[in-house]
Amino acid sequence: MRKFVYHFNEGSKEMKYLLGGKGANLAEMTNIGLPVPPGFTITTEACKDYNDHNQILSDDIYAEMMTHLQILEQETGKKFGDATNPLLISVRSGAPFSMPGMMDTILNLGLNDLSVQGLENATNDARSSYDCYRRFIQMFGDVVYNIPSYRFEQALTDLKNENDYTLDTQLTATDLQKLINTYKDLYISVSGREFPQNPFEQLRLSITAVFDSWENPRAAIYRRLHHIDNQLGTAVNIQSMVFGNTGESSGTGIAFTRNPSTGENLFFGEYLLNAQGEDVVAGIRTPEPISHLEDTMPEVYQKLLDVAALLELHYLDMQDIEFTIEKGELFVLQTRTGKRTAQAAINIAVDLVHEGKLSKEDAIMRIDTSQIDQLLHPSFDEASLKATTSLATGLPASPGAATGQIYFNAEDAVLAAERGEKAILVRNETSPEDIEGMAKSVAILTAHGGMTSHAAVVARGMGKCCVAGCDAIAIDESQKTLQTATFTLTEGDFLSLNGSTGKVYLGQIPLVESEIGGHFEELMSWVNEAKKLVVRVNADSPNDLEVGVHFGAEGVGLCRTEHMFFQDDRITYVRQMIIAETLEERLIALAHLKEMQKADFAGIFRVANGKPVNIRLLDPPLHEFLPKTTQDIEKLAGELGKPVVELKQRVQDLGETNPMLGHRGCRLAITFPEIYIMQAEAIMESAIQIHDEGIAVFPEIMVPLVSSKEEIAIIKKQLKEAIQTIFRREQLVLPFDIGTMIEIPRACVTADEIAEEAQFFSFGTNDLTQLTFGFSRDDANKFLYAYQEQKILPIDPFQSIDQKGVGALVTTAVQRGRMTNPALKMGVCGEHGGDPASIHFFHKLGLQYVSCSPYRIPIARIAAAQASILEERQEKVMV
* Pick 241 or 426: Cβ nearer ligand ADP: 241
**H-helix or E-strand spanning residue 671:** helix 666-671
Question: Which of ligand ADP, Mg ion, none does 202 bind, CB closer than 5 to 8 A by kind?
Answer: none
Binding mask 691-730 toward ligand ADP (x if CB under 6 A, else -) reads ----------------------------------------
Burial 793-829 (b: 16+ CB within 10 A, else e): bebbbbbbbbbebbbebbebbbebbbeebeebbbbbb
The SS3 of residue 103 is: coil
* Pick 242 or 455: Cβ nearer ligand ADP: 242
* Pick 338 or 502: Cβ nearer ligand ADP: 338
Contact between 278 and ligand ADP by CB under 6 A: the answer reads yes
Residues 754 and 710: their CA atoms lie apart, in Å, by 8
Contact between 112 and Mg ion by CB under 5 A: the answer reads no
Residues 144 and 9: their CA atoms lie apart, in Å, by 29
Helix spans in 316-426 (H) = 342-354, 360-366, 369-376, 382-386, 410-418
Question: Which of Mg ion, ligand ADP, none does 651 bind, CB closer than 5 to 8 A by kind?
Answer: none
Q: How many residues does the chain have?
A: 879
Contact between 334 and Mg ion by CB under 5 A: the answer reads yes
**Stretch of 261-269, 302-310, 318-326, 721-729 contacting Mg ion, by CB under 5 A:** 318-326
Q: Which of 112, 129, 252, 319 binds ligand ADP (CB under 6 A)?
A: 252
Amino acid (1-letter code) at residue 663:
H
The SS3 of residue 726 is: helix
Q: Which of 30, 129, 239, 750 binds ligand ADP (CB under 6 A)?
A: 239
429 is in an annotated binding site: no
Q: Which of 68, 377, 448, 454 is catalytic?
A: 454
Q: Comparing C-alpha atoms, which of 16, 14, 1 is closest to residue 96?
A: 16
Q: Which of 21, 37, 817, 827 binds ligand ADP (CB under 6 A)?
A: 37
Residue 85 CB, nearest distance to ligand ADP (Å)?
Answer: 17
Q: Comparing C-alpha atoms, which of 149, 112, 150, 146 is closest to residue 132?
A: 112
* Pick 333 or 647: Cβ nearer ligand ADP: 333
445-449 — which CB contacts under 8 Å span 24+ positions? 445/394, 445/406, 445/470, 445/473, 445/495, 445/497, 445/504, 446/394, 446/470, 447/394, 447/471, 447/473, 447/474, 447/475, 448/778, 449/778, 449/781
Phi, then psi, of 329 in degrees rounded to 5: -110, 135
224 is in an annotated binding site: no
Q: Which of 666, 748, 829, 852 is catalytic?
A: 829
Residues 538 and 368: their CA atoms lie apart, in Å, by 23
Question: Which of ligand ADP, Mg ion, none does 469 bind, CB closer than 5 to 8 A by kind?
Answer: none
Contact between 101 and ligand ADP by CB under 6 A: the answer reads yes
Contact between 101 and Mg ion by CB under 5 A: the answer reads yes
764 is in an annotated binding site: yes
Total residues interacting with ligand ADP, rule: CB under 6 A: 16
* Pick 110 or 817: Cβ nearer ligand ADP: 110
| 47 noted as active-site residue | no
Binding mask 54-93 toward Mg ion (x if CB under 5 A, else -) reads ----------------------------------------
Question: Which of Mg ion, ligand ADP, none does 750 bind, CB closer than 5 to 8 A by kind?
Answer: none
Binding mask 195-234 toward ligand ADP (x if CB under 6 A, else -) reads ----------------------------------------
Q: Please tell me what DSSP assigns to residue 225.
A: H
Question: Which of Mg ion, ligand ADP, none does 324 bind, CB closer than 5 to 8 A by kind?
Answer: ligand ADP
Q: Comparing C-alpha atoms, which of 545, 546, 554, 541 is closest to residue 597?
A: 541
Residue 253 CB, nearest distance to ligand ADP (Å)?
Answer: 8
Contact between 105 and ligand ADP by CB under 6 A: the answer reads yes
Residues 411 and 466: their CA atoms lie apart, in Å, by 18
| 470 noted as active-site residue | no
Question: Which of ligand ADP, Mg ion, none does 107 bind, CB closer than 5 to 8 A by kind?
Answer: ligand ADP
340 is in an annotated binding site: no
Residue 378's CB is within 10 A of a number of other CB atoms, namely 17
The SS3 of residue 108 is: strand
* Pick 27 or 771: Cβ nearer Mg ion: 27
Query: Residue 368: which residues within 8 A CB-CB, separation 6 or more?
Result: 342, 345
Q: For the chain, state the CA radius of gyration.
A: 33
Residues 82 and 122: their CA atoms lie apart, in Å, by 11
* Pick 188 or 282: Cβ nearer Mg ion: 282
Q: Can you state the angle between helices 673-692 and 709-730, rounded to 10 degrees? A: 40
Binding mask 321-360 toward ligand ADP (x if CB under 6 A, else -) reads -x-x--------xx--------------------------
Contact between 90 and ligand ADP by CB under 6 A: the answer reads yes
* Pick 322 or 412: Cβ nearer Mg ion: 322
Phi, then psi, of 846 in degrees rounded to 5: 80, 30
The sign one gets for the Cα dihedral 253, 259, 260, 265 is: negative
Contact between 242 and ligand ADP by CB under 6 A: the answer reads yes
767 is in an annotated binding site: yes
* Pick 334 or 403: Cβ nearer Mg ion: 334
Burial 257-278 (b: 16+ CB within 10 A, else e): bbbbebbebebbbbbbbbbbbb
Residue 80 CB, nearest distance to ligand ADP (Å)?
Answer: 14
216 is in an annotated binding site: no
One DSSP character per residue, 690-715 reads HHHTT---EEEEEE-S--SHHHHHHH
Give the interface with ligand ADP as residue ranges (CB under 6 A): 37, 90, 92, 101, 105, 107, 239, 241-242, 252, 277-278, 322, 324, 333-334
List active site positions: 454, 829
Residues annotated within the binding site for substrate are 560, 616, 743, 764-767
